[in-house]
Structure 1
Amino acid sequence: MKSLKYALLCLCLSPFFATSQQVNYDESLVGSYELPDVLRSNDGTKIDNKQKWEKIRRPEVLETYSSLVYGRTPTEEIPVSYELLTENKQALNGFATMRQVKMTFSKNGKTVNALLLLMLPNHVKKKIPMFVGYNFKGNHSTIADSSIIYSENFKLVREPDHLDWIRGVQAKRWDYTQIIKRGYGVATMCYHDIFPDKDGFKDYSIAALFSDYSSRQQAGDNWEAIGAWAWGSSRIVDYLETLPEIDKRRLAIIGHSRQGKAALWAGAQDPRFHVVISNDSGEGGAAISRRNYGETLAIVTGIKPAWFAKNLNAYHGREKEMPFDQHMLVALMAPRPVYVASAEEDRWADPKGEYLSAYHAGPVYALYKKKGLPSETPPAVHQPIYNDVGYHIRAGIHDVNSYDWFCYLNFFDKMGR
């Protein structure tokens, strides 16, 4: 019965699951593999100090992920305007100020509106550190509050009678009370506002505003959904930088599942994210692809709309030939604090592979005299590690819960100053 329950859970959590794919959940079948040396440049130069990392190797790794994995982020500027729609200074029984801000992006005759929800602690007299992260089911899903405005793009991905329209339907993932009481704020947005995560609606995404939108569609290094979501996270930071009450030096990006992938890519590109947190990000996120455990590269790149650049398709079943693996993505955060989290029952995301990715990023952190994970052996459940590279695995399924937030707040307290 337990096995049947888990199998059904995997199907629910992985709606794009391809039954023709052989998914391995047996650690003895992972086999041996050799990771690319994160401290060896393309021409063979040994990277033995942070100057060489920053001038030689880091640009190479960033270029690899731009050209082969997530696609190239456009440099073209998209005009944006901000409009404060509502402000409630007595949210959460007076503990928080809640604001709703409309961000309007316009270019090339097209417009995309995105709604940003801010929750700010009222008791903090100094500048407020912030968590930035997308929600999956609309701002209305994060709290049962009738004043929350529905996003325009949500109607594209959900039928009018869908249960996801219920206010507070995912409130358990956003423990605002714990976060606010600890002195942190939250800036969240529905990820569909930036790029609707349903096939056929790319024209409604932020990508459609760029001048080369039509001409770049078939390019192997064209950015897709994850690239767009990462870009949107940085645009949230642009807005936060206009607010005098926000501590611009203490901004964390947090993402769960596919947004854990996007959070890592956003953190790799934008150093304004002082802390980077990946929750259950799995294949194409924190997990080592060469392990061939749980979700595979072939499965995740087959999801529609596309999340990854087309060039990544060349490595289906050929992961050991990749000139990269995800420890190199985690290493791109150095020397900033990075935290990877897993869930014990989330075998689809390969918890051990997520841990090993963070562990093998350690040599880059050592160049900065920062502390990585202590051992190649993952810690026990509910034994978080709060080093410059942090990690925990908790009991339960693919989700975000109050225990996760408890750990993230502890990590931010210790490492985010």
Structure 2
Amino acid sequence: MLPRFIFCLGITFSVCALSAAEWPDVADLPERTEFPPALEMFDGTSVTTIKEWEENRKPELKELFQQYMYGYMPAAPAEINFEVQPEFSLLEGKARGFEVIINYAVDKGGETLPPLNLLVILPTNSDKPVPLFLGMNFCGNHTLLPNKEISLTNNWVYDSCGGVDHQAVEGSRGSQFNDWGIDTIINRGYGFAAFHSADLAPDVDDFSNGVHPYFFKEGQTSPDPHDWGTLAAWAWGAHRAVDYLVTHPQVRKEQIAIIGHSRLGKTALLAAAFDDRIALSIPHQAGCGGTAPNRESVGESVAIINRAFPHWFNNTFPLFSDDVNRLPFDQHELITLMAPRPVLVSNAVEDKWADPDGQFRMLQLAAPVYDLYQVEGLLDQQQPELGRLSNGRLGYYIRSGNHSMTRGDWLVFLDYADKYFGKQPAMNMD
């Protein structure tokens, strides 16, 4: 094996490489039935200070997650430009929207990757920068609102989104409106931005489309064992969206939150864990591969997810399907990469597949890192009752119902963001 490197992404796209030791093959990793302590290095050394965490353990965890699970994300592109499209009125004039076509190339003067189409929606009557939610969607930006000014995606969509043969149709405009509640978001004084995950990669396992082939070596047609999977590609796309958002004068760049549901909930946590510019993350019903433990078999297991969705991860992660105790981490340690930033893990009681109880245990195990920062981490030592938001920096919420995202969820998400971003002036849209 060759040594691998991880990269620090900066607003100016500078690259700071952290060399990493060679890691053992999966079969040579020690078995560990208990959850690994977050404040313990791979070699067993204890981490006792913020300096040791930030300079040693945090980079090590990023390396481990990329090596054995998600694959290595590329650095920021060498070239990136933003084509801002004309504005249009939304929500009866209470908001203004515009699209930003983000074009980028791996190398200066090199081939341009498929563009990312970012939809940005901002309150009309705010004269100050506003905090903003960045959301990743399954079905295309056109499904969030019915307005024809929003481009109909040309990329792959799930047929369950109202598509035909995985292509979007006009009849699907606005079909996800109640999932996102953008009118409520604007009314609460927040901005909103969104992109379609398939702008980066379709949710299929052949890696022939999207951004992946642009990073293959000459003659390569499929990912190597530690190359990035689809979740990492979607997270990398979120970083490119943030590249634009931090430049906009009406976006409060230090108050950008990211949210995703289900597989995009996994992505929301991964993206924020690897980009400190994201101030808050809400991985909603993220389950296995996101906020649920790998070392438990409640609901979806590592073996099941690797059989069903092997492309979400690198080609090394399936080697743990029947040997999860060799994983040198568990998902509480992905959560710790957020520290000391807030993260809200939200669930539904009927969504047993996502293991809501196990997700709360992951927060409990992440708490020592927040304690290291001497900030308010997990407020409830026992899982809170249905419908009550536990709003520490390690936040938790569970409601009645099933695997879905609703307007009621958004009221909770906004209440949580208000605590850390400050309550925003209402836009009085009613």
Q: Match of 1:44?
A: 44
Q: 1:210 Cα shift?
A: 2.6
- Pick from 203, 209, 234 the counterpart of residue 204 of structure 1: 209
- Pick from 184, 187, 194 the counterpart of residue 190 of structure 2: 184
Q: Match of 2:12?
A: none
CA contact 1:356–1:376 (8 Å) conserved in 2? no
Distance 2:393 2:292 in 1: 19
| Residue type at the aligned position of 1:148 | I
1:74 aligns with 2:74: yes
1:62 aligns with 2:68: no
Distance 1:363 1:384 in 2: 21
1:151 aligns with 2:136: no
Q: Match of 2:332?
A: 327
Identity of aligned residues (%): 35
CA contact 2:156–2:167 (8 Å) conserved in 1? no
Q: 1:109 Cα shift?
A: 3.6
Deviates more, 1:275-284 or 1:56-65: 56-65
Q: Match of 2:7?
A: none
The TM-score normalised by the length of structure 2 is: 0.84
Deviates more, 1:37-46 or 1:99-108: 99-108
Q: Match of 2:243?
A: 238
When residues 145 and 214 of structure 1 are mapped into structure 2, their CA distance, relative to the original with a 3 A threshold, is farther
| Residue type at the aligned position of 1:57 | R
Q: What CA deviation, in whole Å up to 9, does each residue of 1:271-324 have, x standing for no partner?
A: 000111110000000001112100111121223560001111111122223211
SS of the equivalent of 1:252 reads: strand
Distance 1:161 1:42 in 2: 43
Distance 2:223 2:114 in 1: 23
Pairwise mapping of residues 305-344 of structure 1 onto structure 2 (< 5 A)? Answer: 306-344=311-349
Higher helix share: 1
SS of the equivalent of 1:204 reads: coil
| Residue type at the aligned position of 1:36 | P
Q: What CA deviation, in whole Å up to 9, does each residue of 1:212-270 have, x standing for no partner?
A: 38548342211010110010000001111221111111111111111111111111110
The TM-score normalised by the length of structure 1 is: 0.87
Distance 1:285 1:76 in 2: 23
SS of the equivalent of 2:134 reads: strand
Q: Match of 1:136?
A: 138
Q: 1:60 Cα shift?
A: 1.5
When residues 213 and 265 of structure 1 are mapped into structure 2, their CA distance, relative to the original with a 3 A threshold, is farther
Q: Match of 1:8?
A: none
Distance 2:239 2:183 in 1: 25
SS of the equivalent of 2:317 reads: helix
Coordinate RMSD, CA, aligned: 2.2
| Residue type at the aligned position of 1:123 | N
When residues 71 and 159 of structure 1 are mapped into structure 2, their CA distance, relative to the original with a 3 A threshold, is same
Distance 2:273 2:221 in 1: 23
Gaps in structure 2 of 5+ consecutive residues:
1-31, 423-430
1:221 aligns with 2:207: no
Q: 1:94 Cα shift?
A: 1.3
Q: 1:84 Cα shift?
A: 2.4
| Residue type at the aligned position of 1:81 | N
Gaps in structure 1 of 5+ consecutive residues:
1-31
| Residue type at the aligned position of 2:173 | R
1:102 aligns with 2:101: yes
Deviates more, 1:102-111 or 1:397-406: 102-111
CA contact 2:154–2:168 (8 Å) conserved in 1? no
* Matched residues, number: 384
CA contact 2:283–2:344 (8 Å) conserved in 1? yes
Q: Match of 1:389?
A: 394
Q: 1:161 Cα shift?
A: 9.0
Distance 2:186 2:335 in 1: 28
- Pick from 398, 401, 404 the counterpart of residue 399 of structure 1: 404
Q: Match of 1:253?
A: 258
- Pick from 175, 180, 184 the counterpart of residue 181 of structure 2: 175
Distance 1:155 1:319 in 2: 32
SS of the equivalent of 2:85 reads: strand
Deviates more, 1:100-109 or 1:319-328: 100-109
- Pick from 106, 117, 137 the counterpart of residue 115 of structure 1: 117
Distance 1:87 1:162 in 2: 26
Distance 2:155 2:174 in 1: 18
Deviates more, 1:325-334 or 1:33-42: 33-42
Q: 1:170 Cα shift?
A: 1.2
| Residue type at the aligned position of 1:380 | E
Q: 1:156 Cα shift?
A: 9.2
CA contact 1:346–1:397 (8 Å) conserved in 2? yes
Distance 1:260 1:44 in 2: 31
Pairwise mapping of residues 276-295 of structure 1 onto structure 2 (< 5 A)? Answer: 276-295=281-300
Distance 2:182 2:112 in 1: 34
SS of the equivalent of 2:217 reads: coil
CA contact 1:340–1:391 (8 Å) conserved in 2? yes
Q: Match of 1:17?
A: none
When residues 216 and 247 of structure 1 are mapped into structure 2, their CA distance, relative to the original with a 3 A threshold, is farther
Q: 1:211 Cα shift?
A: 5.6
| Residue type at the aligned position of 1:150 | L
Distance 1:213 1:265 in 2: 29
Deviates more, 1:122-131 or 1:160-169: 160-169
When residues 277 and 361 of structure 1 are mapped into structure 2, their CA distance, relative to the original with a 3 A threshold, is same
